[in-house]
Amino acid sequence: MDININVSSEKVDLMKVYFSGDPDAREILEKVSRFTQQAQAMNLPYWVVVYEADPMGIVAVGKEPIQLYAPPGTPMALLRLINPSLPAEVIEEFILEARTLMTENNVEYALATFRDKDAKAICKFKKSGFKEFDDCYRMVCQLDKEYGVSGELKFRQVQKEEMRQFIEIARKFLQGSPDITLSIALQHMLELPDEFLNFYYSQEKFYFANKNQQPVGIIDFNPNRGLISNIGVDPQHRGKSYGKQIMLFTLSQLKANGCKQAYLRVHVKNSPAICLYESLGFSKAERYKTLIWTRKSTRDRM
């Protein structure tokens, strides 16, 4: 059975919800603009939950592909608690309001991401039916030196018509990672319509790393944001320093494009990758946990 969250009527009276499409909500929307950039970039409708005139959280609703954790077309939501240090009962109020919005929009799953140190908020979300789904570090590298590339590997940029081939190869080369979110996303990428793949291609650069004209690795990154999205090496060719060579190529590309820093996300249990990144100058900036709620798991408890 689902878990009940008790909220007093007095506290409910102190809450208001503003829709992103409401012209009267302009002042509130401006207050939270730095927290809604992802939703705005994806043209997702969102709601701002306000408590005692202060924004406390955001609920954005859309359909896959957004996170690629479900087949395209699946209704999903992204939750953001602006201040995780709020009193426990106030966090409960936000969860209750978010669940109402999720139900009204027939959401099948929802994600909420927190810093690892936000233990109180994580606990409250878990008690309301969310489960831990991802645990990762955000790592950062200052691009303040030159990055020499050995020349042993030849890098060839992926063409737009090769994107499905790239995804197929990436699925193979990313095997063995403890990162379940990556595995799920790669699985659903094969289901993406061509127009979304074309959009994805316009946002990132994709490369095959070849040895003797055969791909032994892949990389894709955002040259404007300095974000390294995926790096993979053929399981049959691991242990040959190809991963390091691919990373050096990528860092040199980002630096040449004017980026001052490089960023990436790595699962906390992916020790070999973390060691590689640290050897190249990356450091752990923050640890994040992502929680997931699914309508299916809620039905199963009833």
Which pTM does this prediction carry? 0.86
Rounded mean pLDDT, 219-232 = 96
Rounded mean pLDDT, 272-283 = 97
Average pLDDT of the chain is 90
15 in a structural domain: yes
Taking the CA of residue 266 as centre, how many other CA atoms within 13 Å lie in the half-sphere pointing to its CB? Answer: 22
> Among 284, 292, 234, 242, which residue's Cα sits nearest to residue 264?
284
Q: Are 74 and 109 in contact (CB under 8 A)?
A: yes
The residue whose two tokens read 């691009």 is: 143
Whether residue 160 sits in one domain with residue 271: yes
Q: Is 87 exposed, middle or buried (0-12, 13-18, 19+ CB in 10 A)?
A: exposed
52 in a structural domain: yes
Confidence band of 6 (pLDDT split at 50, 70, 90) = very low
Q: How far apart are CA 218 and CA 210, in angstroms?
A: 9
Of 251 and 39, the one with more pLDDT:
251
134 in a structural domain: no
Local structure of residue 44 (DSSP, 8 states): -
Whether residue 172 sits in one domain with residue 123: no
Between 119-127 and 88-104, two packed helices, what is the crossing angle to 10 degrees?
50
Whether residue 107 sits in one domain with residue 83: yes
82 in a structural domain: yes
pLDDT beyond 80 at 266: yes
pLDDT beyond 60 at 2: no
Whether residue 124 sits in one domain with residue 146: no
pLDDT beyond 50 at 4: no
Residue 24: predicted pLDDT:
86
48 in a structural domain: yes
Residue 10: predicted pLDDT:
47
The residue whose two tokens read 């506290």 is: 11
**Any idea what the Cα angle at residue 271 is, between residues 268 and 272, rounded to 5°?**
140
Whether residue 96 sits in one domain with residue 27: yes
Whether residue 189 sits in one domain with residue 58: no
231 in a structural domain: yes
Residue range of the domain that includes 190: 142-288
Residue 184: predicted pLDDT:
83
Residue 297: predicted pLDDT:
62
Residue 42: predicted pLDDT:
84
pLDDT beyond 70 at 276: yes
Whether residue 104 sits in one domain with residue 187: no
Q: Which two tokens stand for residue 172?
A: 């193979």
Q: Is 192 exposed, middle or buried (0-12, 13-18, 19+ CB in 10 A)?
A: buried
Whether residue 27 sits in one domain with residue 74: yes
The residue whose two tokens read 């990373």 is: 247
Q: What are phi and psi of 84, to 5 degrees?
A: -65, -10
Give per-residue pLDDT as tens, 74-97.
999 999 999 999 999 999 999 999
Of 273 and 178, the one with more pLDDT:
273
User: Whole-angstrom distance between the N-terminal and C-terminal Cα of the chain?
Assistant: 4
Q: How far apart are CA 171 and CA 167, in angstroms?
A: 6
Domain boundary among 87, 103, 129: 129
Whether residue 66 sits in one domain with residue 194: no
pLDDT beyond 90 at 178: no
Domain boundary among 129, 163, 188: 129
The residue whose two tokens read 């390091």 is: 244
The number of folded domains in the chain is 2
- Of 94-98, 189-193, 206-210, the poorest mean pLDDT is in 189-193
Whether residue 119 sits in one domain with residue 168: no
Q: Which two tokens stand for residue 2?
A: 């689902």
pLDDT beyond 70 at 9: no
Residue 131: predicted pLDDT:
96
Whether residue 158 sits in one domain with residue 241: yes
136 in a structural domain: no
Q: Which two tokens stand for residue 127?
A: 């008690």
Confidence band of 41 (pLDDT split at 50, 70, 90) = confident
Which CATH number does the domain housing residue 91 bear? 3.40.630.30
Whether residue 108 sits in one domain with residue 52: yes
Residue 8: predicted pLDDT:
44
295 in a structural domain: no
